[in-house]
Structures are given as structure tokens and as C-alpha cells.
Amino acid sequence: MKHAKDETRRKTAESMLSEMRKVYVVVEGKHDVAALKHLMVYAHTYEEAMRSGLPLPERVLIFTDNDRRGIEKAEKLSSFFTENGAIVDGTTGTRLLKILNSVHVEDILQPIAQVMEREKQKQKRIGELNGENLFGYSKVYGRGKVLD
């Protein structure tokens, strides 16, 4: 049962990260940008987004920390982008933080790595059971098929 929950968490996190790669993401600071860069999500800081003169995107995903300051900044960003005609998504980031049991964006690397590692270990065990490395001694050729 625990593996099914981990699988669901992994798939949900992967789909959210995939969605984040397609839109303009705004985070609170440079540490958040660095953390997301490791996940191939390119984000902009709060200060960059609020700076005038930059071209405004059509869709914006606000991904701030789930604390008082983060919520305040998310509200300011949301009103700023909504007033300028952008479609704002403020829930995907919050949902991702909840799935990963995290409060801060910069801390999501470790929970994501743990979820991915569990899935990798599970796949490794499945591979071993399918004759890929049976009992750790030698390979069984033909993927475990009986050969004449």
C-alpha cells in the first residue's frame, strides 16, 4: 500500500514539474530559483517579476513558500499579474509543497530525490525478479525464458 502512495506522489510531482517547465514561474528569491533550476524549472524572483518594463507573460505560476511572507508575496503577485491581463495559477505550487511535506520552495530537492529514489529501488527489485540479475550471481539470458 505504501508503494502505491509513493507512486502516486511521484507521478503527481512529475506532472506538476512538467507543467512548471511550460509557464512563467515566480518564486520569492534566488535560493528558490537555484533549487528549481536543478529540476529544470526556470523561475524568476519576486523582484524581477514586479519590475516594470519587462514583457508580461500570458500565464504565470506563483510558487512561493507556504509561510506568512510567502502568502503575502503571492497575493501581491497575483493581483499585479491579474491586473495586467495574465492568467495566474497560485495553487500548483502550494499543492506540490503539500505533496512533498515541505513549507519552503528551496527545500523541495530532498523530498523529490527521496520519492524518485524509492521508485528507482522499486524498479531495480522488479528487474532483479525478472531474471536481470537473479540472486546476484550471474545473468539469466533471454529475460528468464526457458531455453531448449
101 pLDDT above the threshold of 60: yes
- Cα separation, 111 vs 147, in Å, equals 44
CATH 3.40.50.2300 for domain 2-132, yes or no, is no
- Cα separation, 94 vs 125, in Å, equals 33
Q: Which residue has the higher pLDDT, 23 or 3?
A: 23
98 pLDDT above the threshold of 80: yes
pLDDT tens per residue across span 125-146: 655 555 555 455 555 555 555 5
- Cα separation, 84 vs 49, in Å, equals 12
| pLDDT confidence bin for 118, thresholds 50/70/90 | low
pLDDT tens per residue across span 44-80: 888 888 886 667 788 899 998 888 998 898 999 899 8
Listed by start position, the domains of the chain span 2-132
Once rounded to an integer, what is the mean pLDDT over residues 25-43?
A: 87
44, 27 Cβ separation under 8 angstroms: yes
| pLDDT confidence bin for 119, thresholds 50/70/90 | low
